Amino acid sequence: MFIYLPRERWPVPEHGRELTTTATSLRIVDAIDRLEGARMSEIATELGLANSTVHAHLTTLRNHELVVKEGNEFHLGIKFFHLGEQARHRKPEYEIVRRHAHELSNRLNEEVAFAITEHGRSVIIFDENNDPAKEGFQVGRYFHMHNSASGKAMLAEFSRDRVEGVLDRWGLPRETENTIQSAEELYDELERTRERGYSLNQQEALEGLMAVGMAITTPDGSVLGSLDVSGPPYRLSEEQIVPELREAVTQIEREIASRYGPGDRDQ
Amino acid sequence: MFIYLPRERWPVPEHGRELTTTATSLRIVDAIDRLEGARMSEIATELGLANSTVHAHLTTLRNHELVVKEGNEFHLGIKFFHLGEQARHRKPEYEIVRRHAHELSNRLNEEVAFAITEHGRSVIIFDENNDPAKEGFQVGRYFHMHNSASGKAMLAEFSRDRVEGVLDRWGLPRETENTIQSAEELYDELERTRERGYSLNQQEALEGLMAVGMAITTPDGSVLGSLDVSGPPYRLSEEQIVPELREAVTQIEREIASRYGPGDRDQ
DNA sequence: CACTGAAATTCGCATCTCGTGAATGTTTAT
DNA sequence: ATAAACATTCACGAGATGCGAATTTCAGTG
């Protein structure tokens, strides 16, 4: 059974000493994110804090440019975007993946996304598609790993323990009627994924959207992230997609290995 | 007695009450950004804090997914990317601009960037160019407004007071030998910008890069951001660029006015 | 394999800071 | 013009923070 802490939308594990002041500031940031901009008193009631308290936090956040005030509404500052781009380009491997993802997208004429995982969820950090006028609307969104192709591809590479950790923290929230419901079902699915060499998302996260995914591993054996090709079921055929995707992943892993071979990294 | 070292790379204005705990956490985030990943003790010496202190902050930041630990190195978490994308797509107007910027880029076959300003600096949030394999490497970077076309276009729309505020906070750091050096020079340049209707950056930020910029204003008279076309001087001719850029900006402002007419927004 | 040094992590304490409710200021609506 | 709602400031006591010292972990070496 999964227990979601009362006042917080998602569980925050208490590892070591937690500084309550910083934690409160960050809960305020989360609230602004969730509410897509909010007034001070709105935040105060949302989090059960005194107005004066929220005021102090907001001025601090504002001084450091994380929050901007527009009229009386507070919004996330572009500094988040600045810091986010740092995170997105942190590893040079990501750029290699992006290049290949772009080519693959051209070849297949389908959308190709690159996702990475942190803290048991995954986030698409690059989304390449043939129509440059349209931006992947899922970029930057958090996904649960059990109901996305990318997520399952990565879970399939994790140790049993690590998968259990993810489940303990996030559970198996249901998105569509195809969403996997139980741990056993998930373990079976991951086993099948390992056998066939790719993961499938059959409208488990979004009605009308299916995807094929493969994890990308580095020479040291760790998972860098995962590529997936997604589209409407009538257009996507595994037979067409899988070989091309396999080829792309092979090339990516080869290029990464040749540039940042084993032994160069810690662990 | 606690001694807070005054050493900060950027000036942080002290508006209202500043919560030192949160401020310290954010200084640690900045340090990780600056150092592009760092060990705990590195951060401690950099900021003049005790190891145990930094430890507590890092665990808190980690609990909230803003920081990840890889081996013994700490890095910015993808949560920043998630929050950054929120900030980037905050106003629907941005998407309108992006579409037009994309078309303009196709028409001119040059790089077109859309920048917004916060706290006296500017950041490119969209960078459209005809070569989709290449990503604008300046996206997400902070720019000083006195030495970029976008920046000057926006400054030209600000009140004298506001420009002075920007100068007080950020000064006129020199990037190339063409960078504007004095306030008077800048005010003259802004006057000229207003007269001709567009701003110029003649290798003032980067050797070999020039740009033409125009601010985008909303019906309420405030500055939404700024578009600029940039490239090597030998390729960019004002006569070609300016009319097209002017046309794009006019269309953008018209589209924004028709959708989010005056009176709909606070202030 | 024990040894060493460097770094991370834990702990208890003194001190300063934060969170609060109440008071004051400001804006918006009627 | 008045009221209501909200933002901002203030003073103070509870309790969290930052520190140094102690402990543990880990990598490299003889």
- Per-residue model confidence (pLDDT) at position A13: 56
Exposed / middle / buried, residue B118 (Cβ in 10 Å: 0-12, 13-18, 19+): middle
Residue A52 CB in 7 A reach of strand C: yes
Structure tokens at B161: 């007071």
Q: What is the rounded CA–CA span in Å between residue A118 and residue B78? A: 7
CA distance, residue A90 to nearest chain B CA (Å): 8
Share the mean pLDDT of chain A: 90
Please name which of B196, B199, B205 lies closest in space to residue B172, comparing C-alpha atoms: B205
B contacts of A224 (beta carbons < 8 Å): none
Mark out the alpha helices in chain B (DSSP H runs). Answer: 20-35, 40-47, 51-63, 78-88, 92-108, 149-155, 160-170, 183-196, 238-259
pLDDT tops 80 at residue B2: no
Q: How far in angstroms lies nucleotide D27's C1' from the CA of residue A158? A: 26
Q: Give the mutation candidate from A9, A81, A93, A137 for the B interface (greatest B CB count, under 10 A).
A: A81
Q: Which residues of chain A does B99 touch, with a Cβ-Cβ cutoff of 8 Å?
A: 133
Closest Cα in chain A, distance from residue B155 (Å): 18
Helix or strand run (H / E) with residue A102: helix A92-108
Nucleotide with smallest C1' distance to residue A20 CA = D16
List Cβ neighbours of B2 (8 Å cut-off, separation of 6 or more). Answer: none
Q: pLDDT (tens digit, 9 = 90+) per residue, B147-204?
A: 999 999 999 999 999 999 999 999 999 999 999 999 999 999 999 999 999 999 999 9
Out of A143-152, B92-101, B124-133, B168-177, pick the least confident: B124-133
The contacts of residue B32 (CB under 8 Å, 6+ apart) are: B38, B43, B67, B74, B75, B76
Query: Are the Cβ atoms of B83 and A267 closer than 8 angstroms?
Result: no
Here the tokens at position B189 are 């340049």
Task: Report CA(A94)–C1'(C1) in Å, whole number.
Answer: 42
* C-alpha R_g of chain B: 21
State the smallest CA–CA distance between residue A7 and chain B in angstroms.
15
Chain B's closest residue to A78, CA to CA, is B87
CB contact (8 A) between residue B125 and residue A78: yes
Q: What is the C-alpha separation between A102 and A111, in angstroms, rounded?
A: 9
In this structure, the number of other CB atoms found within 10 A of the CB of residue B61 comes to 25
Name residue, tokens 């402002």: B253
Could you tell me if B166 and B186 are in contact, meaning their C-beta atoms sit under 8 angstroms apart? no
Mean pLDDT to the nearest integer, A199-222: 93
Q: Answer left, alpha or beta for residue B206, where phi above 0 means left and psi between -120 and 50 means alpha.
A: beta
What are the chain B neighbours of A62 within 8 Å (beta carbons)?
15
Is nucleic acid strand D under 7 Å from B179's C-beta? Answer: no
Spanning CA of B234 to C1' of C19, the rounded length in angstroms is 61
Q: Please determine, for residue A265, whether its predicted confidence score (pLDDT) is greater than 60.
A: no
Say whether B6 sits in a helix, a strand or coil: coil
Residues 6 or more apart whose Cβ sits within 8 Å of residue A41: A51, A54
Say yes or no for a CB contact (<8 Å) between A65 and B119: yes
A111-118 and A73-76 as β-strands: parallel, antiparallel, unpaired? unpaired
Has residue A12 got a pLDDT over 80?
no
3-state helix, strand, coil in chain A (%, to 5): 45, 20, 35
* For chain B, the helix, strand and coil percentages under 3-state DSSP, each to the nearest 5: 45, 20, 35
A65-91 mean pLDDT: 96
Nearest to A82 among B79, B133, B140 (CB): B140
Do residues B90 and A75 touch, judged by C-beta distance below 8 A?
yes
Is the pLDDT score of A4 beyond 80? no
Residue A45 pLDDT grade (very low, low, confident, very high; cuts 50, 70, 90): very high
* Residue A190 host element (H or E): helix A183-196
Measured CA to CA, the distance from residue A187 to residue A163 in angstroms comes to 9
Residue type (1 letter), B207? E
Specify whether the CB–CB gap between B84 and A96 falls below 8 A.
no
pLDDT of residue B262: 59
> In the block, which residue shows the tokens 């989010």?
B260
Give residue for tokens 């006195």. B146
Q: Which residues of chain B have a CB within 8 Å of the CB of A81?
A: 84-85, 87-88, 123, 125, 140
Contact, B56 CB vs strand D, < 7 Å: yes
Query: What gap in Å lies between CA B144 and CA B140, rounded to an integer?
Result: 13
The region of weakest confidence among A219-233, B72-86, B249-263 is: B249-263
What is the distance in angstroms measured between the alpha-carbon CA of B52 and the sugar C1' of D23?
13
Burial class (CB in 10 A: 0-12, 13-18, 19+), A37: middle
Chain B residues inside the 8 Å CB shell of A129: none
The whole-number average pLDDT for the span A170-196 is: 95
